[in-house]
């Protein structure tokens, strides 16, 4: 089992999925949070990354000659989103003003 987990995290494709979703989420968060809407940015960032990951896998499903639909890619997308959620939560809980 550990070999499968190791193979998952060392696969370049999975690393790209994790990185892409994390970057998308954090970029959307930064764009919205700079206007002072921290929690709105938090929610929008998650939705944007989920849509991007789902759209990529939907495209792969509809065009199998251009890419392979893989559940493991969705898992990698979710891991990237979870990483971004952690970063955003730390930022919002430590730095953001308390919602009133």
Where exactly are the structural domains of the chain? 2-94
At 38 the pLDDT is 87
At 100 the pLDDT is 41
At 29 the pLDDT is 96
pLDDT in tens, the chain (100 residues): 888 888 888 888 999 999 999 999 999 999 999 898 888 999 999 999 999 999 999 998 998 888 788 899 999 999 999 999 999 999 888 876 665 4
For 65, phi then psi, to 5°, come to -75, -20
Which of 91, 94, 93, 99 is CA-nearest to residue 30?
A: 91
At 82 the pLDDT is 97
Which of 28, 24, 48, 38 is CA-nearest to residue 93?
A: 38
């Amino acid at each position: 089992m550990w070999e499968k987990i190791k193979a998952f995290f060392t696969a370049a494709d999975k690393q790209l999925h994790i990185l892409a979703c994390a970057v998308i989420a954090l970029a959307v968060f930064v764009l919205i949070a700079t206007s002072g809407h921290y929690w709105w940015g938090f929610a929008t960032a998650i939705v944007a990354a989920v849509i991007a990951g789902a759209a990529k896998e939907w495209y792969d499903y509809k065009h199998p000659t251009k890419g392979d639909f893989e559940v493991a890619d969705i898992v990698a997308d979710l891991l990237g989103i979870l990483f971004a959620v952690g970063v955003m939560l730390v930022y919002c809980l430590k730095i953001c003003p308390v919602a009133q």
